Homo-oligomer: A and B are copies of this chain.
């Protein structure tokens, strides 16, 4: 599965349902959209949050995060191919490390995602999954997840 939760970093939070956690993601290809919804869902379950907001943050500059179709893996492959076609790996770039395209792809996707939590679960649409977007793999990466209980939690 390649995604592992690191030691739970739930500190002595004062408010029930709050959690900040680091998830480790291992990628296998240079450009790879990896569905890691299950890891985020585990963080939500661990938090005990019933209603609130889940933020996913990628602290890298050649990787991002998006929400897209999780049912048919071909969609992720099509997105990978489209980004590779739009942004050439080799071009007349100034950045000398050979991964300027990876930074550009990151700029076109996003470094954070916001998903609601309802009834103790991620309120994703029926076909949605959360994808780690590797643009300079294979690598070991980290993702930060923050869960903030909403104002309505106690009444749900």
Within 8 A of B (CB), among A1-51: 11-15, 17-18, 20, 51
Interface size on A, residues (CB 8 A): 70
- What residue of chain B has the Cβ atom nearest to residue A63's Cβ? B125
Produce 1/0 per residue, A50-68, CB < 8 A to B: 0101010111111000111
Residues of B within 8 A of A152 (CB): 11, 13-15, 18, 20
Known A14-B152, A20-B116, A152-B11; judge A78-B55 contact (CB<8 A).
no
Residues of B within 8 A of A114 (CB): 55, 57, 112, 114
Can you list 18 pairs linking A and B with CB atoms under 8 Å apart?
A11-B156, A12-B155, A13-B151, A13-B155, A17-B151, A18-B150, A53-B55, A57-B116, A59-B124, A60-B127, A67-B111, A68-B103, A72-B97, A74-B93, A77-B95, A82-B104, A112-B113, A112-B114
